[in-house]
Amino acid sequence: MSASKTDWPLWEVFVRSRQGLSHKHVGSLHAADSTMAISNARDVYTRRQEGTSIWVIKAEDITASTPSNKDVLFDPANDKVYRHPTFYDLPDELKNM
């Protein structure tokens, strides 16, 4: 089997489904460069008008938090329930707040 000289890098694809919404991760694909990544993303992820704009980012350029950091990062928010409006017990007579 003739192996390719270079493996095409992996790109993560983000699509804005319509104006007013943010780009959302839809999947990934391989492409030699960013131009090809955009054009492949168009064919792979937007065959049915799913998007009005595409972002592609090389997967290796993304820094992600690791699952083992989950507690350190997200647990402290657990005991700060006063950040939620439902924390405040107010009289029923109070309307529209």
Partner 1 sequence: MTQQMDLNQRFEEYIALDQKIEAKDWMPDAYRKTLIRQISQHAHSEIIGMQPEGNWITRAPSLKRKSILLAKVQDEAGHGLYLYSAAETLGISRDEMLDALHTGKAKYSSIFNYPTLTWADMGSIGWLVDGAAIMNQVPLCKCSYGPYARAMVRVCKEESFHQRQGFQIMLNLSQGTSEQKDMAQDALNRWWWPSLMMFGPSDASSKHSKQSMRWKIKRFSNDELRQRFVDMTVPQAELIGLTIPDSDLKWNEETGHYEFGPIDWSEFEQVVAGNGPCNRERIETRVAAHENGAWVRDAAAAYAEKVADRESRQTSAA
Is residue 28 helix, strand or coil? Answer: strand
Residue 64 or residue 94: which is nearer to partner 1 going by CB?
64
Q: How far apart are CA 54 and CA 42, in angstroms?
A: 8
Residue 53 or residue 71: which is nearer to partner 1 going by CB?
71
Residue 64 or residue 81: which is nearer to partner 1 going by CB?
64
Binding to partner 1 in span 37-66, by CB under 8 A: 43-44, 47-48, 64, 66
Among 15, 29, 54, 56, binds partner 1 (CB under 8 A): 29
The token pair at 97 is: 């707040």
Amino acid symbol at 13:
V
Contacts of 20-27 with CB under 8 Å at 24 or more apart are 23/53, 23/55, 26/50
Contact residues for partner 1 (CB under 8 A)?
A: 1-8, 10, 27-30, 32-33, 36, 43-44, 47-48, 64, 66-67
